[in-house]
Amino acid sequence: MEKRPFAELGVSQEILKAVHKLGYEEASPIQTAVIPVVLKGRDVVGQSATGSGKTAAFAIPAIEIAKAQVHKVQVLILCPTRELAVQVAEETGKLLFFKKGLNVVPIYGGQSYDRQFRALAAGVQIVIGTPGRVMDHMERGTLKLDALRMVVLDEADRMLDMGFRDDIERILSAVPEQRQLLFFSATMPRAIKDLIGRYSRDPEWVRVESHAQNAPQVDQVYYEVDRRSKLEVITRLIDINDFRYGLIFCSTKVMVDELDQQLHARGYATDRLHGDLSQAQRTRVMEKFRKRAFEFLVATDVAARGLDVDDLEVVFNFDLPNDAEDYTHRIGRTARAGKSGKAVTFVSGRELYRLQSMVRFANLRIRRETVPSLGQVDEARANAFYEKIRGVIDSGQFETQDRVVDRLLDQGYSSTDICSALIQLLKGGAPAGPKTVVAAPKPVKEFEEMRPPAAEAAESEEAEQEGQEVPRPVGRTGKEEGMTTLFINAGRKNLVTTGEIVGKITGVTRLDSTVVGAIDIHQRHSLVDVASEHAELILRKLTGIRLRGHALKLSLATTEDRARD
């Protein structure tokens, strides 16, 4: 579908200035199709993928029809969630920037009625809210709709999924007869068609094909992956592509929690989003993600709906979505506003047939790729490593180590040998790949931790433990009440430190570090006291996690374990 300059859509100078200020060069297809029709006074049903610019498609004509000199609510926009209401209000606020006397306010649950009441009483013309809160205000008489001229249902499908049907119907039956009604939805299930049939008058249907819009920018690939290998494969793909900002979809909340923890434990900066989190928690996570405070957000479809982020490098379908609509919805989150992005889908076993039927149904352009081998991953890691070293040299931001280097050179070692040995040391200490290497905050500490095992083992216990941490003489575990001692199959030989053990436990379980008590590190194993009530959880979560490239096994410590050297 075509795009046109905003100037050809019959909008005012004030709007043209606003879109220019926002940096929109031309109207998106859905905007091109919808804006002139709404300006003519028609009802519209608009269907297009996430990220296609629906907000401006309804906000611009809404602003144009609202009269600044009338201090009454003239446009009501319904959104499924508080985040969306706030986002739509923000975008509308920017678009009406040059319209003097026109105001917009979001109203949603969780914010005080008082504040919203004051905004409404001040004579705001455009109200954006969630159906529940809008109903509340109507019933209290604080939201009067007698001057209403337009109602917009944004993400109508989502609102019905969330159980707002009754509220929506009551709102629609309460508004004046003479009003325009706009429906926007990524999908068009029967329930929406019912509502349109009952409340819209001869609407113009505008549908922007989602695949036609997504396919050119989103590079879509799929991998046939055994269910148990998904975790390994996703980490390989992240490393090999050096992805740093992406969304990972799982089908259930349990999967989201699990994958979040597994990735976290492997050194990736992740967080999660699903329906069991409180509204406040979700808002916080989304906010952090928008600010790129972490790299990968693991989420369910429903939880990610309200999320508005740009510049995602990749969307992973760790689990295959239910249908083509969900697929399109998910991948629409990368490559927004014309940028290119990547969508990676995992299919295991019979899911391949489901994917094939989606491809046929939605005409997807998705190609099969083979899982990168460990060799390829190594090569990518080596390249990343090379880039990193070059970066440091080019920046000149390093201390010269003349003395050490000269001593080695004096003894006849070549510079190639010295560098190779150092690289070997660095690589050996960072089995998790370029992420760890790149993200490591203190390279000096890396070296410290990378002393060869033999040298380390030869040192006395106290000397070893005096480094960065409070010395903990061996034999302290099993003495405190309320604590359970766990056996871990990694010790000094594996270069394990007490700090790392605490870090892994808190990282994987998200428990506070106070649940960890005394730790005894032995040659080949360690004993750790943990709060008894969390012992089982810690045992379960840490088993299988890799520490310095070593897969951990945990068990309750037996008397024999305690006696071991």
Residues that bind ligand ADP in the complex, under the rule CB under 6 A: 24, 27-28, 31, 50-56, 308, 310, 336-337
Left (φ > 0), alpha (ψ -120 to 50) or beta: where does 90 sit? alpha
Strands 246-249 and 296-299, by their bridges, are parallel
User: SS3 of 385, please?
Assistant: helix
User: Of the two residues 153 and 430, which places its CB atom closer to Mg ion in the complex?
Assistant: 153
d(CA 330, CA 132): 27
Q: How far is the CB of 361 from Mg ion (least distance, A)?
A: 23
**Least CB distance to ligand ADP at residue 56 (A):** 5
Q: Quick one: 157 or 308, whose CB is closer to ligand ADP?
A: 308
The entry of Mg ion, ligand ADP, none near residue 24 (CB within 5 to 8 angstroms by kind) is ligand ADP
Binding site for Mg ion (CB under 5 A): 54
> Which three-class secondary structure state does DSSP give residue 310?
coil
CB of 44 to ligand ADP, least distance (A): 14
CB of 54 to Mg ion, least distance (A): 5
Residue with CB nearest Mg ion?
Answer: 54
Alpha-carbon distance of 278 to 284, in angstroms, equals: 10
Interaction partner, residue 210 (ligand ADP, Mg ion, none; CB < 5-8 Å by kind): none
Q: Residue 526, SS3?
A: strand
Provide the Cα torsion 502, 507, 512, 517; round to 10°: -20
Which residue, 53 or 246, has its beta carbon nearer to ligand ADP? 53
- Is residue 142 within 8 A of residue 71, CB to CB? The reply is no
d(CA 168, CA 243): 41
Residue 91 CB, shortest distance to ligand ADP, in Å, is: 6
Beta-sheet pairing, 554-556 with 483-488: antiparallel
Based on CB atoms, which residue is closest to Mg ion, 88 or 430?
88
Q: Residue 429's binding partner, choosing from Mg ion, ligand ADP, none, with beta-carbon cut-off 5 to 8 A by kind?
A: none
**Residues in a beta bridge with 551:** 546
**Contact of residue 317 among ligand ADP, Mg ion, none (CB under 5-8 Å per partner type):** none
Q: Which does 130 bind (CB under 5 to 8 A by kind): Mg ion, ligand ADP, none?
A: none
- CA 36, 37, 42 angle in degrees (round to 5)? 145
Pairing of strands 516-521, 526-531: antiparallel
Running DSSP on this structure, what letter comes out for residue 146?
T
51 touches, from Mg ion, ligand ADP, none (C-beta below 5 to 8 Å by class): ligand ADP
CB under 5 to 8 A by kind: which of ligand ADP, Mg ion, none does 310 bind? Answer: ligand ADP
For ligand ADP, the closer of residues 3 and 42 by Cβ is 3
- Residue 51 or 429: the one with the smaller Cβ distance to ligand ADP is 51
